[in-house]
């Protein structure tokens, strides 16, 4: 079994029916396992062009967090007018959730993070950054700001145990 669900690299070959991608283009994408192989063969809809300014090490781990955040927001049915509380908002999945929540028309995004990540979080389009003790205290946030209508808590399994 070859592990790995995300990859980035340069296209070596394209299938006969593929349009829009050419040999030599830098891309990133996902695969359900097998992404640590070199080379890797995937359907064209699992690949997108790598932005020129995106470092390879970012591209190589990009898709899982972005998809995880998008899927979470979809399952929570986050929509226009929601107040979304995102715990661990400075983490990989949380940071994507913060950025993907805004275009959905939510009224407020509240992100929590430990103090070391507050500066990072304040530079993101959240309404507030607040200390999240361990375990995080969403009740504190509820009392301080608006009542969330959706809560995403992408805390690691290690942190939950």
User: Which residues bind to ligand NAP, rule: CB under 6 A?
Assistant: 64-65, 67-68, 87-88, 90-94, 113-114, 117, 132, 134-136, 154-157, 159
Q: Minimum Å distance from CB 57 to ligand NAP?
A: 14
User: Phi and psi dihedrals of 31, rounded to 5?
Assistant: -150, 145
| Cβ-based nearer residue to ligand NAP, 22 or 134 | 134
Q: Minimum Å distance from CB 20 to ligand NAP?
A: 26
Q: Minimum Å distance from CB 149 to ligand NAP?
A: 21
| Cβ-based nearer residue to ligand NAP, 26 or 92 | 92
| Cβ-based nearer residue to ligand NAP, 6 or 82 | 6
CA dihedral for 4, 65, 104, 51, sign (positive or negative): negative
Residue 34, exposed/middle/buried by CB under 10 A (0-12, 13-18, 19+)? Answer: middle
CA distance 161 to 156: 9
Q: Minimum Å distance from CB 111 to ligand NAP?
A: 9
| Cβ-based nearer residue to ligand NAP, 14 or 61 | 61
CA dihedral for 112, 115, 120, 126, sign (positive or negative): positive
Rounded (10°) angle between helices 62-75 and 92-101:
50
Q: Please identify the residue of the shown chain whose CB is closest to the bound ligand NAP.
A: 91
Q: What is the secondary structure of 50-84 as a DSSP string?
A: PPTTS-HHHHTTHHHHHHHHHHHHHHTT--TT-EE
Rg (CA), the chain: 18
Q: Minimum Å distance from CB 144 to ligand NAP?
A: 17
| Cβ-based nearer residue to ligand NAP, 107 or 144 | 144
């Amino acid at each position: 079994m070859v592990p790995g669900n995300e990859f980035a690299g340069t296209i070596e070959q394209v299938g006969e029916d593929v349009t829009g991608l050419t040999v030599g283009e830098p891309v990133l994408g996902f695969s359900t396992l097998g992404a640590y192989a070199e080379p890797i063969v995937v359907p064209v809809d699992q690949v997108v062009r790598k932005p020129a300014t995106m470092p390879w090490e970012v591209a190589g781990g990009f898709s899982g967090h972005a998809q995880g955040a998008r899927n979470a927001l979809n399952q929570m049915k986050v929509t226009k007018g929601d107040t979304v509380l995102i715990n661990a908002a400075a983490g990989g999945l949380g940071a994507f959730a913060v950025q993907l929540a805004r275009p959905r028309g939510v009224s407020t995004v509240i992100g929590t993070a430990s103090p070391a990540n507050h500066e990072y979080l304040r530079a993101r389009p959240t309404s507030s950054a607040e200390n999240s003790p361990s375990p995080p205290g969403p009740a504190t946030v509820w009392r301080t700001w608006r009542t969330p209508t959706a809560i995403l808590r992408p805390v690691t399994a290690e942190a939950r145990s």
